[in-house]
Structure 1
């Protein structure tokens, strides 16, 4: 009744509000966009009332967008467009009424969906997310969209690798570290690990001799 009197938008807002009331009563915070997506799928179909000059049948459920395209083509050809009424489908029926039989088969009634698809010779054009996930294909979203697959991305500034001329010479490196002109090696820089161990052993030996005296 709400759909017939107030229209599709008011019905969608009512569905979102009623679902949110249930979750908010339990202290659960959910963004409206998730429920809006479900409500949109429930109101995606229309029921044909008058077929006009089209090949549709009265009582047939048709996708809203597909009907608009068909009516536009029919008008351009000088025919009479089809008329349809708004309908609201349950979650199960809305999922099974999708254009993709792969998506529908993954939800419920798998045998029935696949059998009907085989008898009708359906072709899945893989335009949605779910069917692409099922077959392991790149989903058509964000950079996975067809338009972005051929875009070549180049760095804003070209980075060149350093050449041998850019490397510091041994004398320049010593100057940078502040050890140029030092004849004897500085502790921790010029001494090897073995020499450091030898000095440490000598210190321990001299310390033990002094303690024995």
Structure 2
């Protein structure tokens, strides 16, 4: 298994190379940056192995950055951090397994995603590009987080 032996970067390179082979064999040229974005998104989740002193649950899939933030807080308080391993998700699962229910609903299983969001009272923080485009807001990539967005 490339992920466990060679790591995340090797998996990303492998995915890009293999997809490029298929497209190039058909005479189609795709810039690597597009495939790299997809491969990166497929590797953004970690599976919790042990919870340490966090409130995380073993087997839970969470965003890698959220995992790192939670562990940093626990370490700052002198606690034991959680342990986890990176998980390679398929494109569909990676798209549906996002913190943004609006983004997930725009991809597939729209009825299920919207029903679950309504029943659970979920709130979309509108952090990503896709959900902001859907509702017609300026995309967050235009202005630094510290800068006020003009009306």
TM-score bin (small chain) = over 0.9
Query: Which deviations, in whole Å up to 9, do the C-alpha atoms of 1:145-197 show, x marking residues without a partner?
Result: 662635xxxxxxxxxxxxxxxxxxxxxxxxxxxxxxxxxxxxxxxxxxxxxxx
What is the Cα deviation at residue 28 of structure 1?
1.2
The alignment yields a C-alpha RMSD, in angstroms, of 1.6
Task: Answer yes or no: is 1:126 the counterpart of 2:126.
Answer: yes
- 2:73 matched residue in structure 1: 73
Where in structure 2 are there 5+ consecutive unaligned residues?
Answer: none
Choose 1 or 2 for highest CA Rg. Answer: 1
**Correspondence list, 1:9-28, <5 A:** 9-28=9-28
CA distance in 2 between counterparts of 1:90 and 1:107 reads 13
Kindly report structure 1 stretches of 4+ aligned residues shifted beyond 6 Å.
Answer: none
What is the Cα deviation at residue 134 of structure 1?
1.1
What is the Cα deviation at residue 143 of structure 1?
4.8
- 1:84 matched residue in structure 2: 84
- 1:55 matched residue in structure 2: 55
What is the Cα deviation at residue 144 of structure 1?
8.3
CA distance in 1 between counterparts of 2:47 and 2:144 reads 33
Q: SS of 2:35's equivalent? A: helix
- Which TM-score applies when normalising by structure 1? 0.67
CA distance in 1 between counterparts of 2:130 and 2:19 reads 24
CA distance in 2 between counterparts of 1:88 and 1:24 reads 24
Contact 1:47 1:86 in 2 (8 A): yes
Contact 1:140 1:146 in 2 (8 A): no
What is the Cα deviation at residue 110 of structure 1?
1.3
Aligned residues: 150
Query: Which deviations, in whole Å up to 9, do the C-alpha atoms of 1:111-164 show, x marking residues without a partner?
Result: 2212222333321110111101111111112358662635xxxxxxxxxxxxxx
Contact 1:43 1:88 in 2 (8 A): yes
- 2:113 matched residue in structure 1: 113
Where in structure 1 are there 5+ consecutive unaligned residues?
Answer: 151-213
Contact 1:132 1:139 in 2 (8 A): yes
